[in-house]
Amino acid sequence: MLIQQWSRSFAVTDADIEYLTGLLLEKETPMSSAELALSLIRRRLEDEQTALSSRYQDTVIYNPAGSYPVGSRLVFSRLDFATATVIDTRRGDNPDYGDYNVIKVKFDDTNRNSAAHQREFAAELQITHPLTSHAQSDSLPGTITFSAEEILNSGDVVLKAIDNALQKNKDLIRLAGQWFPRDLVLDMDIGTLHLAEAVLDISGGGPLSPEDILEQIGGVANAPLALQTFSLNLAMSQDKRFDEVGPAGEILWYLNRMEPEPVRNMPTSLQYKPIPYDEDLLSDEVYDLETEMDDEHTDIDFEGKLRRAKSILIYPHRRTGTLPLNAKNRQIFPHGRTPRIYVDLIDGQDGSHYAGWVVHEFKYVYGLEPYYTKHRLPVGAYVTVEKGEKPGQIIVSHEAYKARTEWVTVFVPGEQILLENKRRLIGAEYDGQVLIGVDDLEALDKLVKAHQHKTLVSLLKLFLTELSKLSPQGAVHVITLYSAVNVLRRCPPGPIFALLRANPEFEDVGDHYWKLSH
């Protein structure tokens, strides 16, 4: 039987669940679904091997040229290796076959109908017969040639079946991918949880593994460390003071109240209130441009797996020290069981480490402000991320070069939207359409507040008016408009592109450049 056939025919029985529950009770140690699956598969394979060995014990493969006295045990390879016992012999009476015998056999399979349960076959046949050569090359199916590991790695059919069956068992509890009998979980009283909070508080909130916490509080009861860890994790997961922030495969704890504010609450500059628009207004070329920008609020189906991903830094992310969890970056940053995941951000330029947070709920990664500031990255800079050597490690880098003077569109402090081109030193690769500068953040915040109730159409008119003054052609690229709008209000490209197309006050002059039509 092939591995795929074995997996497809796999079904979990009550006896299997009883075996796995007994295994957990015997070991007194939590086990993962994969560990339990391997144990059950090995048990099944051993049972099947025993059954095969028993079934084909003292048997030979039937060969028409062979001689078989009454009582002989035969295997018929051309009948799906059915087994049978010789119960009678007689002389053959077909002159075309010459001198031969006929044996009557009784098959072991009692599910066969009575007519087929007993059959006759030629024996001691002297003439050449196709079955003779086949029988010589056939071997008894007495050995299973694949391992439990190969079955488990061949697909997720078996693992899913076991997981589903375990989830229906009320006597078992699952936490962070591990199972254990509910009745054997250690009791973690409120005092133990207070100690865990104190340990995390002294450590700056975390992150700490449950093993580290247990070591510092002196352990709990005289129980295996794995059981102590499981029980502590369960108790902490039910207490709102603690957040589990580890990447997949690792459990780390953090005090909720000591997490950075942008991890628990989204900064105003990143908040996007969805704007409905007609997607049919976007041409294929505009869709391609939208996909290229890869805004985290744009619904993009990304196919394939990336080793690294590059993003363009727009103002709201540069201001808050975040990076978008867009379609590409989601391929790099870890997924987890919780909405917030602690990661180690490694500076690809000098190896420095920064505390990072993957906030899937808000679609961004927080903790990059020190990196942006140290390397003086402008709005519009390209930022690259790739996975590090260990889970939860992310390498952050950019293309750096000796700083040179560039013309940058800069917001002029004041009560109205005013822009002008100024010289600025830039030492990183950037997108010229997104590049934009802000010298006075306090003045800008007042400008944001003053324009918070304006419609997106009004903002587009204001920015087209100001930006066109700085362009010799008197037109503005749509990506430049997207970058400028996001200084005052968070908005993905889609609504901007659609409103430009839908409103007759805006004129498309080609190559994604726009101007006011009057």
Residue 81 DSSP SS3:
coil
Specify the pLDDT at position 362: 95
Measured CA to CA, the distance from residue 257 to residue 265 in angstroms comes to 12
pTM of the model: 0.75
CA distance 248 to 245: 9
Q: Which of 169, 170, 148 is nearest to 159 (CA)?
A: 148
Per DSSP, what are the bridge partners of residue 178?
Answer: 32, 175
Residues ≥6 apart with Cβ < 8 Å to 440: 411, 413
The number of residues making up the chain comes to 518
The span from the CA of 332 to the CA of 328, in Å, is 7
Question: What is residue 324's three-state secondary structure?
Answer: strand
Per residue in 492-512, is it b (16+ CB within 10 Å) or e — as a string? bbbbbbbbbbeeeebeeeeeb
**Is 380 in contact with 483 (CB distance < 8 Å)?**
yes
Question: How is residue 42 written in tokens?
Answer: 């090995």
For the chain, the farthest-separated pair of C-alpha atoms sits apart, in whole angstroms, at 115
Residues in a beta bridge with 476: 514
Amino acid sitting at position 105: V
Provide the CATH number for the domain formed by 284-400 in this structure: 2.40.330.10
Compute the distance between CA of residue 364 and CA of residue 325 in angstroms, rounded to an integer: 5
Q: Taking each helix axis as running N to C, give the angle between helix 478-488 and helix 493-502, from 0 to 180 degrees, rounded to the nearest 10.
A: 120
Which residues on adjacent β-strands are paired with residue 507? 515
Beta strands in 12-129, from DSSP E residues, in sequence order: 31-32, 60-61, 73-76, 82-91, 101-107, 118-123
- CA pair distance 412, 52, nearest whole angstrom: 84
Residue 255: enclosing H or E segment and its boundaries?
A: strand 253-255
DSSP string, 131-200: HHHHHHH--------S-HHHHHHT-SHHHHHHHHHHHT-TTEEEETTEEEEGGGSPP--HHHHHHHHHHH
Strand partners, 438: 411
Walk along the chain (518 residues) and give the pLDDT tens digit of each residue.
Answer: 567 667 777 788 888 888 888 888 888 788 888 888 888 888 888 887 777 777 777 788 888 888 999 989 888 877 877 888 999 999 988 888 888 999 999 998 755 544 468 889 999 988 876 666 555 555 566 556 667 777 777 777 888 888 888 888 888 888 877 888 888 888 889 999 999 999 999 999 989 999 999 999 988 878 888 889 889 999 999 999 999 998 877 889 999 999 999 999 999 999 999 999 888 888 888 888 989 899 999 988 777 688 899 999 999 999 999 999 999 999 999 886 788 999 999 999 999 999 999 999 999 999 999 999 999 999 999 999 999 988 889 999 999 999 999 999 998 888 888 889 999 999 999 999 999 999 889 899 998 998 888 999 999 999 999 999 988 888 999 999 999 999 999 999 999 999 999 999 998 899 999 999 87
Cα-Cα end-to-end distance for the chain: 77
Phi-psi region of 230 (alpha: psi -120 to 50; beta: other; left: phi over 0): alpha
* Structural domain spans, the chain: 3-52+145-174, 60-137, 185-259, 284-400, 402-516
Q: Which residue has the tokens 């009550």?
A: 14
- DSSP code, position 222: S
Query: Is there a contact between 394 and 385 (Cβ–Cβ < 8 Å)?
Result: yes
**Structure letter (DSSP) for residue 268:** G
Residues in a beta bridge with 146: none
Asked if 103 contacts 119 with a C-beta cutoff of 8 angstroms, the reply is no
- Edge-to-edge strand order for the sheet containing 353-359? 308-312, 382-387, 393-397, 340-347, 353-359, 364-366, 322-324
**Closest to 428 in 3D by CA, of 488, 373, 356:** 373
- Note whether 60-137 and 185-259 share their fold: no
Domain spanning 185-259: which CATH class is it, in words? mainly alpha
pLDDT at 159: 84
H/E element, 364: strand 364-366
| Closest listed residue to residue 187, CA positions, set 135, 149, 223, 148 | 223
Question: Strand 506-510 to strand 476-477: parallel, antiparallel, or no bridges (unpaired)?
Answer: unpaired
The pLDDT, as a whole number, for residue 130 is 67
251: number of Cβ within 10 Å: 26
Omega before 224 within 30 of 0, i.e. cis: no
Q: Is the Cβ–Cβ distance between 36 and 162 less than 8 Å?
A: yes
Q: What topology does CATH give the domain 60-137?
A: SH3 type barrels. (2.30.30)
